[in-house]
Structure 1
Amino acid sequence: MNQLIFDRSTGDLGPKAFARIQTSHLIHTIQLAPRLRFNGGEKEILPVDDEGKGPASSTASEDKIWSHQAGANALAIDIETRFLVSGGADSSIRLWDLDDNDSGSKHTFKPRAAVSRTSSAHKFGITHLTFYPFDSEAFLSSSYDHHLKLYGTETLQVSADFDLNSIVYTHALSPIADHLLVACATQHPAVRLVDLRSGSSTHSLTGHHGALLSMAWSPTLEHILASGGIDGTVRLWDIRKSSGSLGVLDMEDSTGITGTDGLGRSARARDSGKAHSGAVNGITWTDDGSFIITAGHDERVRVWDSATGANRLASFGPTLKNGHLSSLPLVATPTALTPPGEELLFFPNEKELLVFELHEGRLLKRLKVPGPNTAAVRSRTGERNIKNRITDLLWRGQAGGMYSAHTDGQIRAWVPRTIEDEILDREEEEESARRDDDENEGSKRKRQVLDDVFKNLTRQKITFG
């Protein structure tokens, strides 16, 4: 570190290179922050006794909290990385202020607001949440109840409601486009485009055979969209074209289609081929638009050159687990935070986060999620046991870490942990232990004084005249 500061001060290291080295180091130190907790305010419901008259004795911890007791399904963070919105398996939606640490405990967040159960709210579990890309004043939610809804962030009131007549597994808004088209992946094999300006479903993009599970807009080209379905295909679309389709990605093609002019123009579209031998439920782009990352039920992750469609042949090994019928969140680190070609991929591997080197697929770290493999969750239909897994994952800011949603009802924070942070934690723990020791010593002294008084009284002989 001292050498870096010296190189920076002498001009041997530019400010951008210095910042990149620092942020890259921080990203590699990301780990679970167990003290950052999210308390949705739901109380633990204890089982009743055999006679049904009251709660039976329980050894459950009084400190047990959940963000959503029925399970947390989805997360979204606003453009200012201050507000986090979460959606539950029981259709609940809660808004959290990440800059607020004064809500009852230093390390525990409480919701700033919540969606009440009204006729306009979702009826079933939330599948995906998205903030407006340019404004924090509104966010979108989709649900198993077939609806896509637009909420105002301040009021949490529904501003628009779209019935798509089939389960909406995920939806996507372009991060750069002037248009306000929402691409929806549903049980229907066509990509549904909803225009928030006109309030109607504009048109559909046909080509998939079966339900769609994943969707992502290009971060650099506002009219380009990628979609993945249970047919194992990943299709690219240009929504300006009448047919829409630009072709498919083929896992057998490591060369790609470059076009007749050598610049990628006038290229022949590829109409056949599969990206995965199972359903494709994960798609994301690198933030410079150069690469597409996909994941499928064949338990493979593939990296593609977005210009040519070539399979980069990155091998991520046999450790991947992916078989759930829902959208799988993939997080690629921003390209500006690491040296060129050294971006990382965070993969939610059920009860752990796997950290890979993106372009080679080399496993760098396994971040374990605490808690049992099976979680007991309670909803309006009663209590049931489900397999504990990560349901959503998002990146916060430049090097602010990540947040994950889990079926056990928790929202967990993953933040960079430097040596200085660990030293401060140890000092805080030692100070807390000293305070506890002082309190215990004070209690012992008080008990000793009372014992002495009692002994003195019992030693005296009492006579009655």
Structure 2
Amino acid sequence: MNAYLLNRSLGLNSPRVIERALNVHLLHALQPTGTQFHGEDSRDVSPETGVERRSLAHASGVNAITIDKFEGRYLLSGGADSSIAIWDLESGLRMADSYTPLSSVHRTAKEHKFGITQLCFYPFDSLAFLSSSYDHTIKIYSSETLSTSASFDLGSVVYTLALSSIASHLLVACATQHPAVRLVDLRSGASTHSLAGHGGAVLSVSWSPVHEHILASGSIDGTVRFWDIRRSVGEIGVLDMEDSVGILGRGGFDAETRHRERGRAHAGAVNGIAWSDNGHHLISVGHDERIRVWDTSSGANTLANFGPMVRNSHLSALIPLLAPSGLVPSEKDVLLYPNENEILMYELFEGNLLKRLKRHNHAATVSNTSFIAGKRNTNRITALAWRPHNIEVYSAHSDGSIGAWMPRTSEDALLDEEENDLNGNRDQEENKKRKRETLEDIYRDLTKQRITFGSEA
């Protein structure tokens, strides 16, 4: 960091260079925190003491989380028991590194009947959000009252949904058990049309961050397809893991360019896709336990190799998380992957493993809750969310907890060590004082005369 400051003083670097260097340093210093989320209905009883404790965000596991992109303040979480909770990350309710929900909804006849699969805030207003569920429905909620304002029954399990953050249309793309991508228009309240082409259930969908009419989808048949919703025949291309050159050409999604009609992106089901912020690359993950990075201008497989540590075997969506591009230098994007019970941090284009993040001490905190849902894969990460305007990551876990990850640098550790030393010295002085007072009381009772011991040198 001193070299950056020196170069800045010499006029060789701009303030932006120093800012990005500091952000990269903080990003690589992400560590689990002791922050806990206590749900209103997640009480459990310790088998050792019989004391009731509240240690979980959702008693039956957390399936989905998301954070509003405007203030970066409100976190939504959806449970495997169909419950939904909203948390204020800057609320005065935060006491001793713990949160309680601002509001929550539980399973009723009016709400979802089965587990939540996806949550997302309305793209232009955090006062409303959408949810999808295994009960075949998507619902629109008010963020203030957590009451439903609309419900859509799609007739099959909804695995994920997506809203475009740049589009003028209000189409919700839905990945369902049906082999066609379903589009729901929030203005008309109707399912407008379907995008047919996949050979099996669609597990993941995502809108392009730069082209408002372009959509990508991943399916159980191993394919990743691109769609232009303006066309009568929506499909405009398929990715092929064997192609490292690409045939789309520089025109990218232009109608006049050549597009591939056949190919598989993965040797197994594709249950997660995500775009880079500039739309130049698409990341896909599949049951073949591979992460692939694609050049969207040509459709080429960049051949980034992420090594043998990747695990992916669940049918539910597993969406990789990209750190905001503004935090890191150009072409140095960072990917966070929820790998069972840990987060793997990779350099995106080279596939180099930068760090493994794991909550080592968390199992002891919630181990007494395993009786709630029988045998459970404790601590499996089901979803990740980045907190905008901050270097913070939040994770949803199948044990019912929500994890918080924040930077902890060597300077922070040194300050904590100094504080612990001061606290330790203070505790030693207090112990000595209590011992002297105890001895004074004993001798006073024996001699009926108060004897005072002088302070130790």
Give distance in 1, aligned partners of 2:331 and 2:411.
29
Q: Please name the residue that 2:17 is paired with.
A: 17
Q: Please name the residue that 2:36 is paired with.
A: 37
Q: Is the 8 A contact 1:38 1:110 kept in 2?
A: yes
Q: Is the 8 A contact 2:56 2:400 kept in 1?
A: yes
Q: Please name the residue that 1:320 is paired with.
A: 310
Deviates more, 1:428-437 or 1:148-157: 428-437
Deviates more, 1:110-119 or 1:361-370: 110-119
Deviation track 1:359-416 (CA, whole Å, cap 9, x = no partner) reads 111112111233449967579xx53111131000011124422100101111111112
* Runs of 5+ consecutive residues of structure 1 not aligned to the other structure: 48-56, 459-465
Q: Is the 8 A contact 1:172 1:184 kept in 2?
A: yes
- The 3 A distance-change label for structure 1 pair 439 and 214 is farther
Indicate whether 1:69 and 2:68 are aligned: no
Q: Please name the residue that 2:442 is paired with.
A: 451
Give distance in 2, aligned partners of 1:293 and 1:82.
27
Q: Please name the residue that 1:140 is paired with.
A: 130
C-alpha displacement of 1:448? 3.5
Q: Please name the residue that 2:381 is paired with.
A: 390
Give distance in 1, aligned partners of 2:253 and 2:287.
34
Aligned length: 445
Write the mapping of 1:76-95 to structure 2, written as runs, cut at 5 A.
76-79=66-69, 80-95=71-86
C-alpha displacement of 1:265? 5.7
Q: Is the 8 A contact 2:44 2:54 kept in 1?
A: no
The code of the aligned residue for 1:198 comes to S
- The 3 A distance-change label for structure 1 pair 260 and 178 is closer
Q: Is the 8 A contact 1:74 1:128 kept in 2?
A: yes
Indicate whether 1:103 and 2:93 are aligned: yes
Q: Please name the residue that 2:200 is paired with.
A: 210
Q: Please name the residue that 2:158 is paired with.
A: 168
Q: Is the 8 A contact 1:40 1:110 kept in 2?
A: yes
- The 3 A distance-change label for structure 1 pair 411 and 60 is farther
Q: Please name the residue that 1:184 is paired with.
A: 174
Q: Please name the residue that 1:3 is paired with.
A: 3
C-alpha displacement of 1:105? 1.9
3-state SS of 1:386 partner: coil
Q: Please name the residue that 1:403 is paired with.
A: 394
Give distance in 2, aligned partners of 1:444 and 1:97.
46
Give distance in 2, aligned partners of 1:144 and 1:198.
24
Q: Please name the residue that 2:455 is paired with.
A: none
Q: Please name the residue that 2:257 is paired with.
A: 267
Indicate whether 1:225 and 2:224 are aligned: no
Q: Please name the residue that 1:358 is paired with.
A: 348
Task: Say what the alpha-carbon RMSD is for the aligned residues.
Answer: 2.5
Give distance in 2, aligned partners of 1:104 and 1:447.
39
- The 3 A distance-change label for structure 1 pair 150 and 372 is same
C-alpha displacement of 1:343? 0.8
Write the mapping of 1:296-335 to structure 2, written as runs, cut at 5 A.
296-335=286-325
- The 3 A distance-change label for structure 1 pair 111 and 262 is closer
Among candidates 374, 396, 404, match of residue 413 of structure 1:
404
Q: Please name the residue that 1:27 is paired with.
A: 27
Give distance in 2, aligned partners of 1:173 and 1:263.
20
- The 3 A distance-change label for structure 1 pair 335 and 121 is same
C-alpha displacement of 1:432? 4.3
Q: Is the 8 A contact 2:247 2:300 kept in 1?
A: yes
The code of the aligned residue for 1:176 comes to I
Deviates more, 1:168-177 or 1:436-445: 436-445
Give distance in 2, aligned partners of 1:174 and 1:153.
19
Give distance in 2, aligned partners of 1:181 and 1:333.
26
The code of the aligned residue for 2:132 comes to S
Among candidates 270, 277, 283, match of residue 280 of structure 1:
270
The code of the aligned residue for 1:413 comes to A
Give distance in 2, aligned partners of 1:436 and 1:139.
50
Give distance in 1, aligned partners of 2:384 and 2:167.
23
- The 3 A distance-change label for structure 1 pair 128 and 377 is farther
Q: Please name the residue that 1:151 is paired with.
A: 141
C-alpha displacement of 1:240? 0.7
- The 3 A distance-change label for structure 1 pair 59 and 334 is same
Q: Percent identity?
A: 52
C-alpha displacement of 1:216? 0.8
Among candidates 328, 347, 353, match of residue 338 of structure 1:
328
C-alpha displacement of 1:210? 1.2
- The 3 A distance-change label for structure 1 pair 411 and 262 is closer
Q: Is the 8 A contact 1:23 1:399 kept in 2?
A: no
Q: Is the 8 A contact 1:166 1:187 kept in 2?
A: yes
Q: Please name the residue that 1:462 is paired with.
A: none
The code of the aligned residue for 1:209 comes to G
Deviation track 1:14-43 (CA, whole Å, cap 9, x = no partner) reads 12222222212221211212x222121445
Deviation track 1:181-233 (CA, whole Å, cap 9, x = no partner) reads 11111111110111111111111110111111111111111111110010000
The code of the aligned residue for 1:7 comes to N
* Runs of 5+ consecutive residues of structure 2 not aligned to the other structure: 450-457
Q: TM-score, normalised by structure 1?
A: 0.89
C-alpha displacement of 1:109? 1.4
Give distance in 2, aligned partners of 1:446 and 1:390.
52
Q: Is the 8 A contact 2:250 2:297 kept in 1?
A: no
3-state SS of 1:156 partner: coil
Deviates more, 1:227-236 or 1:1-10: 1-10
- The 3 A distance-change label for structure 1 pair 261 and 83 is closer
- The 3 A distance-change label for structure 1 pair 453 and 161 is farther
3-state SS of 1:23 partner: helix
- The 3 A distance-change label for structure 1 pair 318 and 437 is same
- The 3 A distance-change label for structure 1 pair 435 and 157 is farther
Deviation track 1:261-311 (CA, whole Å, cap 9, x = no partner) reads 899662222111100010000100100100000000000010000111111
- The 3 A distance-change label for structure 1 pair 442 and 145 is farther
C-alpha displacement of 1:151? 0.8
C-alpha displacement of 1:179? 1.1
